[in-house]
Amino acid sequence: MIRALVLGGTADASLLAAEIARAGIEAIYSYGGRTRAPTDQPLPTRIGGFGGANGLADYIRREAITHVIDATHPFAAEMSRNAVAACAKAGTPLIALERAPWTKAPGDNWIEVSNVNTAVAALPEASANVFLAIGRQHIAPFANKPQHTYTLRFVDPPEALLPFAADVIVSRGPFTLDGELQMMRTRGIALIVARNSGGDGARAKIDAARMLGLPVIMISRPQLPERLRVESVAEIMQWLGHSARLGA
Ligand code: 3Y8
Ligand code: NAP
Protein backbone atom coordinates (compact mmCIF):
# COMPACT_ATOMS: atom_id res chain seq x y z
CA MET A 1 0.00 0.00 0.00
CA ILE A 2 1.52 3.36 -1.09
CA ARG A 3 1.54 6.42 1.19
CA ALA A 4 3.66 9.04 -0.64
CA LEU A 5 5.11 12.33 0.57
CA VAL A 6 5.39 14.98 -2.18
CA LEU A 7 7.90 17.73 -1.33
CA GLY A 8 6.31 20.38 -3.56
CA GLY A 9 6.31 24.08 -4.20
CA THR A 10 6.67 24.20 -8.00
CA ALA A 11 4.42 24.08 -11.06
CA ASP A 12 5.67 20.56 -11.81
CA ALA A 13 4.82 19.45 -8.27
CA SER A 14 1.27 20.76 -8.78
CA LEU A 15 0.95 18.76 -12.02
CA LEU A 16 2.22 15.67 -10.19
CA ALA A 17 -0.27 16.19 -7.33
CA ALA A 18 -3.13 16.26 -9.82
CA GLU A 19 -1.98 12.97 -11.40
CA ILE A 20 -1.54 11.30 -8.00
CA ALA A 21 -5.01 12.43 -6.90
CA ARG A 22 -6.47 11.20 -10.20
CA ALA A 23 -4.84 7.79 -9.70
CA GLY A 24 -6.27 7.59 -6.19
CA ILE A 25 -2.82 7.06 -4.65
CA GLU A 26 -2.64 8.04 -0.96
CA ALA A 27 -0.26 11.00 -0.60
CA ILE A 28 0.56 14.13 1.42
CA TYR A 29 1.69 17.35 -0.28
CA SER A 30 4.24 19.50 1.55
CA TYR A 31 4.97 23.25 1.29
CA GLY A 32 7.80 24.96 3.15
CA GLY A 33 5.54 27.87 4.12
CA ARG A 34 7.39 30.54 2.13
CA THR A 35 4.29 32.26 0.74
CA ARG A 36 1.15 33.62 2.35
CA ALA A 37 -1.38 31.77 0.23
CA PRO A 38 0.14 28.81 -1.56
CA THR A 39 -1.87 27.21 -4.35
CA ASP A 40 -4.42 24.68 -3.10
CA GLN A 41 -3.59 21.08 -3.94
CA PRO A 42 -5.96 18.11 -4.52
CA LEU A 43 -4.09 16.21 -1.79
CA PRO A 44 -3.95 16.56 2.01
CA THR A 45 -1.38 19.33 2.51
CA ARG A 46 1.10 20.20 5.27
CA ILE A 47 2.94 23.53 5.50
CA GLY A 48 6.28 24.24 7.21
CA GLY A 49 9.66 22.66 7.86
CA PHE A 50 10.22 19.18 9.30
CA GLY A 51 13.12 20.17 11.58
CA GLY A 52 16.09 19.15 9.45
CA ALA A 53 16.93 15.72 8.07
CA ASN A 54 16.27 14.02 11.41
CA GLY A 55 12.91 15.74 11.69
CA LEU A 56 12.02 14.52 8.21
CA ALA A 57 13.14 10.95 9.06
CA ASP A 58 10.92 11.06 12.17
CA TYR A 59 8.02 12.39 10.09
CA ILE A 60 8.46 9.57 7.55
CA ARG A 61 8.32 6.96 10.30
CA ARG A 62 5.48 8.61 12.24
CA GLU A 63 3.34 9.06 9.14
CA ALA A 64 4.22 5.61 7.75
CA ILE A 65 5.41 7.21 4.49
CA THR A 66 6.34 4.52 1.95
CA HIS A 67 7.68 6.72 -0.92
CA VAL A 68 9.17 10.23 -0.99
CA ILE A 69 9.05 12.37 -4.14
CA ASP A 70 11.29 15.45 -4.10
CA ALA A 71 9.49 17.77 -6.52
CA THR A 72 11.01 20.92 -5.03
CA HIS A 73 12.69 23.65 -7.06
CA PRO A 74 16.29 23.00 -8.23
CA PHE A 75 17.46 25.78 -5.90
CA ALA A 76 15.76 24.27 -2.84
CA ALA A 77 19.09 22.59 -2.12
CA GLU A 78 18.76 22.21 1.64
CA MET A 79 15.38 20.48 1.31
CA SER A 80 16.77 18.12 -1.33
CA ARG A 81 19.85 17.31 0.72
CA ASN A 82 17.68 16.63 3.77
CA ALA A 83 15.44 14.34 1.72
CA VAL A 84 18.44 12.23 0.63
CA ALA A 85 19.74 11.95 4.21
CA ALA A 86 16.32 11.28 5.78
CA CYS A 87 15.32 8.62 3.24
CA ALA A 88 18.68 6.88 3.67
CA LYS A 89 18.15 6.90 7.45
CA ALA A 90 14.54 5.70 7.25
CA GLY A 91 15.25 3.25 4.40
CA THR A 92 12.47 4.86 2.31
CA PRO A 93 12.53 4.98 -1.51
CA LEU A 94 13.21 8.50 -2.86
CA ILE A 95 12.88 9.92 -6.36
CA ALA A 96 13.38 13.51 -7.57
CA LEU A 97 11.27 15.28 -10.19
CA GLU A 98 13.71 17.85 -11.55
CA ARG A 99 13.26 19.72 -14.81
CA ALA A 100 16.25 20.25 -17.07
CA PRO A 101 18.09 23.56 -16.83
CA TRP A 102 17.57 26.17 -19.55
CA THR A 103 20.28 26.04 -22.20
CA LYS A 104 21.56 28.99 -24.19
CA ALA A 105 19.82 29.52 -27.53
CA PRO A 106 21.32 31.47 -30.46
CA GLY A 107 21.10 35.14 -29.61
CA ASP A 108 21.24 34.62 -25.83
CA ASN A 109 23.75 36.86 -24.08
CA TRP A 110 24.35 35.08 -20.74
CA ILE A 111 26.98 35.84 -18.14
CA GLU A 112 27.04 32.52 -16.24
CA VAL A 113 27.89 32.73 -12.53
CA SER A 114 27.80 30.19 -9.70
CA ASN A 115 25.95 32.06 -6.93
CA VAL A 116 24.41 35.36 -5.83
CA ASN A 117 27.72 36.84 -4.70
CA THR A 118 29.39 36.23 -8.07
CA ALA A 119 26.23 37.62 -9.70
CA VAL A 120 26.76 40.90 -7.79
CA ALA A 121 30.42 40.93 -8.84
CA ALA A 122 29.33 40.49 -12.48
CA LEU A 123 27.23 43.67 -12.40
CA PRO A 124 28.84 46.65 -14.19
CA GLU A 125 30.30 49.48 -12.08
CA ALA A 126 28.41 52.13 -14.11
CA SER A 127 24.81 52.49 -12.93
CA ALA A 128 22.27 50.43 -14.85
CA ASN A 129 18.59 49.53 -14.75
CA VAL A 130 18.60 45.98 -13.36
CA PHE A 131 15.72 43.45 -13.06
CA LEU A 132 16.47 41.07 -10.15
CA ALA A 133 14.20 38.08 -10.90
CA ILE A 134 15.46 35.95 -8.02
CA GLY A 135 12.71 36.50 -5.46
CA ARG A 136 13.05 37.80 -1.93
CA GLN A 137 15.26 35.53 0.12
CA HIS A 138 18.71 36.16 -1.38
CA ILE A 139 18.79 39.81 -2.50
CA ALA A 140 20.83 41.28 0.39
CA PRO A 141 24.26 41.04 -1.38
CA PHE A 142 23.02 43.48 -4.06
CA ALA A 143 23.19 46.24 -1.43
CA ASN A 144 26.94 46.22 -2.22
CA LYS A 145 26.16 47.88 -5.57
CA PRO A 146 23.63 50.60 -4.68
CA GLN A 147 24.45 52.61 -7.82
CA HIS A 148 21.97 50.57 -9.86
CA THR A 149 18.21 51.08 -10.27
CA TYR A 150 16.71 47.78 -9.16
CA THR A 151 13.35 46.22 -10.01
CA LEU A 152 12.48 43.19 -7.84
CA ARG A 153 9.68 40.65 -8.20
CA PHE A 154 8.21 38.99 -5.10
CA VAL A 155 5.35 36.53 -4.65
CA ASP A 156 4.01 38.50 -1.66
CA PRO A 157 4.26 42.22 -0.76
CA PRO A 158 7.51 42.96 1.13
CA GLU A 159 7.00 42.76 4.92
CA ALA A 160 10.29 44.32 6.00
CA LEU A 161 12.44 47.23 4.81
CA LEU A 162 14.43 46.31 1.70
CA PRO A 163 18.26 46.17 2.04
CA PHE A 164 18.50 48.74 -0.79
CA ALA A 165 16.22 51.11 -2.72
CA ALA A 166 14.20 49.13 -5.26
CA ASP A 167 10.86 48.97 -7.00
CA VAL A 168 8.94 45.75 -6.20
CA ILE A 169 6.57 43.98 -8.58
CA VAL A 170 4.28 41.61 -6.66
CA SER A 171 3.39 38.62 -8.85
CA ARG A 172 3.51 34.86 -8.38
CA GLY A 173 3.85 33.79 -11.99
CA PRO A 174 3.80 31.88 -14.22
CA PHE A 175 4.77 34.76 -16.50
CA THR A 176 4.02 35.42 -20.20
CA LEU A 177 6.35 36.58 -22.94
CA ASP A 178 4.17 39.59 -23.76
CA GLY A 179 3.99 40.54 -20.08
CA GLU A 180 7.77 40.30 -19.68
CA LEU A 181 8.46 42.26 -22.89
CA GLN A 182 6.06 45.00 -21.85
CA MET A 183 7.49 45.22 -18.32
CA MET A 184 11.10 45.35 -19.52
CA ARG A 185 10.38 47.96 -22.21
CA THR A 186 8.25 50.15 -19.91
CA ARG A 187 10.89 50.09 -17.18
CA GLY A 188 13.87 50.42 -19.55
CA ILE A 189 15.49 47.29 -18.08
CA ALA A 190 19.10 46.97 -19.33
CA LEU A 191 20.16 43.76 -17.55
CA ILE A 192 18.47 40.78 -15.87
CA VAL A 193 19.68 38.57 -12.99
CA ALA A 194 18.03 35.11 -12.97
CA ARG A 195 18.44 31.63 -11.54
CA ASN A 196 18.59 28.72 -13.95
CA SER A 197 15.28 27.37 -12.65
CA GLY A 198 14.35 25.56 -15.84
CA GLY A 199 10.72 24.77 -16.59
CA ASP A 200 8.20 26.98 -18.34
CA GLY A 201 6.88 29.03 -15.41
CA ALA A 202 9.71 31.55 -15.44
CA ARG A 203 11.36 31.08 -18.84
CA ALA A 204 9.46 33.99 -20.45
CA LYS A 205 11.91 36.54 -19.04
CA ILE A 206 14.80 34.67 -20.68
CA ASP A 207 13.05 34.68 -24.07
CA ALA A 208 12.14 38.36 -23.63
CA ALA A 209 15.77 39.23 -22.82
CA ARG A 210 16.92 37.48 -26.01
CA MET A 211 14.33 39.34 -28.11
CA LEU A 212 15.37 42.67 -26.60
CA GLY A 213 19.09 41.85 -26.88
CA LEU A 214 19.56 42.21 -23.11
CA PRO A 215 22.31 40.44 -21.13
CA VAL A 216 21.27 37.93 -18.46
CA ILE A 217 23.45 37.17 -15.44
CA MET A 218 22.45 33.50 -15.07
CA ILE A 219 23.04 31.82 -11.70
CA SER A 220 23.73 28.11 -12.16
CA ARG A 221 22.19 25.48 -9.94
CA PRO A 222 23.62 24.29 -6.63
CA GLN A 223 25.21 20.84 -6.55
CA LEU A 224 22.82 18.22 -5.21
CA PRO A 225 23.68 14.74 -3.88
CA GLU A 226 23.18 11.75 -6.17
CA ARG A 227 19.61 10.44 -6.11
CA LEU A 228 17.20 8.81 -8.55
CA ARG A 229 16.06 11.71 -10.79
CA VAL A 230 13.51 11.98 -13.59
CA GLU A 231 12.23 14.97 -15.57
CA SER A 232 8.59 14.05 -16.17
CA VAL A 233 5.46 13.44 -14.14
CA ALA A 234 4.83 10.34 -16.24
CA GLU A 235 8.11 8.78 -15.04
CA ILE A 236 7.16 9.45 -11.43
CA MET A 237 3.76 7.82 -11.96
CA GLN A 238 5.54 4.84 -13.58
CA TRP A 239 7.82 4.60 -10.53
CA LEU A 240 4.81 4.68 -8.21
CA GLY A 241 2.76 2.42 -10.44
CA HIS A 242 5.59 -0.17 -10.46
CA SER A 243 5.80 -0.06 -6.66
CA ALA A 244 1.99 -0.02 -6.42
CA ARG A 245 1.84 -3.27 -8.41
CA LEU A 246 4.44 -4.83 -6.10
CA GLY A 247 2.73 -3.48 -2.97
CA ALA A 248 -0.83 -4.27 -4.05
C1 3Y8 B 1 6.04 28.57 -1.90
C2 3Y8 B 1 3.97 28.08 -4.28
C3 3Y8 B 1 2.47 27.63 -9.91
C4 3Y8 B 1 3.82 27.52 -9.37
C5 3Y8 B 1 4.56 28.83 -9.60
C6 3Y8 B 1 8.02 27.18 -11.27
C7 3Y8 B 1 7.19 28.43 -11.57
C8 3Y8 B 1 6.39 30.65 -10.74
C9 3Y8 B 1 9.63 30.54 -11.17
C10 3Y8 B 1 10.67 35.45 -11.56
C11 3Y8 B 1 11.16 34.17 -10.90
C12 3Y8 B 1 11.51 32.57 -7.88
C13 3Y8 B 1 10.40 32.27 -6.82
C14 3Y8 B 1 9.70 31.38 -8.84
C15 3Y8 B 1 9.17 30.50 -9.76
C16 3Y8 B 1 6.94 29.29 -10.31
C17 3Y8 B 1 6.01 28.55 -9.34
C18 3Y8 B 1 8.17 29.48 -9.42
C19 3Y8 B 1 10.74 32.39 -9.21
C20 3Y8 B 1 5.74 29.58 -5.62
C21 3Y8 B 1 5.24 28.90 -4.36
C22 3Y8 B 1 6.15 29.07 -3.35
C23 3Y8 B 1 7.24 29.79 -3.89
C24 3Y8 B 1 8.45 30.15 -3.11
C25 3Y8 B 1 9.28 31.17 -3.81
C26 3Y8 B 1 10.61 31.56 -3.14
C27 3Y8 B 1 11.26 32.33 -4.33
C28 3Y8 B 1 10.85 31.52 -5.54
C29 3Y8 B 1 9.60 33.50 -6.48
C30 3Y8 B 1 2.74 28.95 -4.07
C31 3Y8 B 1 4.85 30.70 -6.10
C32 3Y8 B 1 12.09 33.93 -7.70
C33 3Y8 B 1 12.63 31.48 -7.88
O34 3Y8 B 1 8.90 35.32 -0.67
C35 3Y8 B 1 9.53 34.25 -0.64
O36 3Y8 B 1 10.09 33.79 0.42
C37 3Y8 B 1 9.62 33.44 -1.90
C38 3Y8 B 1 10.45 32.38 -1.89
C39 3Y8 B 1 11.39 30.33 -2.70
C40 3Y8 B 1 12.79 32.39 -4.28
C41 3Y8 B 1 13.34 33.31 -3.22
O42 3Y8 B 1 14.43 32.97 -2.74
O43 3Y8 B 1 12.65 34.33 -2.90
N44 3Y8 B 1 9.73 30.67 -5.09
N45 3Y8 B 1 7.04 30.09 -5.19
C46 3Y8 B 1 6.62 27.18 -1.84
C47 3Y8 B 1 6.65 26.61 -0.43
O48 3Y8 B 1 6.31 27.33 0.53
O49 3Y8 B 1 7.00 25.42 -0.30
O50 3Y8 B 1 2.83 29.96 -3.33
O51 3Y8 B 1 1.70 28.56 -4.61
C52 3Y8 B 1 5.90 28.52 -6.71
C53 3Y8 B 1 6.52 28.94 -7.98
N54 3Y8 B 1 7.61 29.60 -8.09
O55 3Y8 B 1 1.49 27.78 -9.12
O56 3Y8 B 1 2.30 27.60 -11.16
O57 3Y8 B 1 9.24 27.25 -11.42
O58 3Y8 B 1 7.44 26.17 -10.85
N59 3Y8 B 1 9.49 31.37 -7.52
C60 3Y8 B 1 13.64 31.66 -9.02
O61 3Y8 B 1 13.41 31.06 -10.10
O62 3Y8 B 1 14.61 32.38 -8.79
C63 3Y8 B 1 10.17 33.66 -9.86
O64 3Y8 B 1 10.11 36.31 -10.85
O65 3Y8 B 1 10.89 35.57 -12.79
P1 NAP C 1 15.49 25.35 1.03
O2 NAP C 1 16.31 26.57 1.27
O3 NAP C 1 16.05 24.22 0.24
O4 NAP C 1 14.97 24.71 2.41
C5 NAP C 1 15.19 25.34 3.66
C6 NAP C 1 14.29 24.63 4.66
O7 NAP C 1 12.92 24.98 4.36
C8 NAP C 1 14.31 23.10 4.55
O9 NAP C 1 15.42 22.55 5.20
C10 NAP C 1 12.98 22.75 5.21
O11 NAP C 1 13.02 23.02 6.61
C12 NAP C 1 12.08 23.83 4.63
N13 NAP C 1 11.44 23.42 3.37
C14 NAP C 1 11.78 23.76 2.11
N15 NAP C 1 10.92 23.26 1.22
C16 NAP C 1 10.00 22.57 1.93
C17 NAP C 1 8.84 21.81 1.58
N18 NAP C 1 8.43 21.70 0.31
N19 NAP C 1 8.13 21.19 2.60
C20 NAP C 1 8.53 21.33 3.88
N21 NAP C 1 9.61 22.05 4.29
C22 NAP C 1 10.33 22.65 3.31
O23 NAP C 1 14.09 25.80 0.39
P24 NAP C 1 13.74 27.11 -0.50
O25 NAP C 1 14.71 27.25 -1.61
O26 NAP C 1 13.50 28.24 0.44
O27 NAP C 1 12.34 26.64 -1.14
C28 NAP C 1 11.21 26.60 -0.30
C29 NAP C 1 10.03 26.14 -1.11
O30 NAP C 1 9.83 27.03 -2.23
C31 NAP C 1 10.16 24.74 -1.69
O32 NAP C 1 8.89 24.12 -1.66
C33 NAP C 1 10.55 24.99 -3.13
O34 NAP C 1 10.11 23.95 -3.98
C35 NAP C 1 9.81 26.27 -3.42
N36 NAP C 1 10.47 27.07 -4.46
C37 NAP C 1 11.74 27.47 -4.26
C38 NAP C 1 12.36 28.22 -5.27
C39 NAP C 1 13.78 28.70 -5.09
O40 NAP C 1 14.22 29.49 -5.92
N41 NAP C 1 14.47 28.26 -4.06
C42 NAP C 1 11.65 28.52 -6.45
C43 NAP C 1 10.34 28.08 -6.60
C44 NAP C 1 9.75 27.35 -5.59
P45 NAP C 1 13.43 21.90 7.72
O46 NAP C 1 14.92 21.80 7.62
O47 NAP C 1 12.93 22.47 9.01
O48 NAP C 1 12.74 20.62 7.32
Instruction: Write out pLDDT tens, residues 122-147.
Output: 999 999 999 999 999 999 999 999 99
Q: Which domains, ranges and CATH numbers included, belong to the chain? A: 3-99+223-239 (3.40.50.720), 110-219 (3.40.50.720)
Please give the pLDDT value at position 242: 58
pTM exceeds 0.75: yes
The span from the CA of 55 to the CA of 57, in Å, is 5
Beta bridge mates, 154: 170
**201 pLDDT above the threshold of 90:** no
Please give the pLDDT value at position 30: 98
Strand order in the sheet with 110-113: 110-113, 216-219, 191-195, 129-133, 149-154, 166-170
Please give the pLDDT value at position 174: 86
Average per-residue pLDDT in the chain?
A: 95
**247 pLDDT above the threshold of 90:** no
Give the number of the atom of ligand 1 that is nearest the alpha carbon of residue 219: 62
pLDDT digits (tens, 9 = 90+) for 54-93: 999 999 999 999 999 999 999 999 999 999 999 999 999 9
Q: Which residue from 6, 34, 79 has its CB within 8 A of the most atoms of ligand 2, so it is best to mutate?
A: 79
Band of residue 21 on the pLDDT scale cut at 50, 70, 90: very high
Q: Whose CA is nearest to atom 26 of ligand 1?
A: 135
Contact (CB, 8 A) for 14 and 41: yes
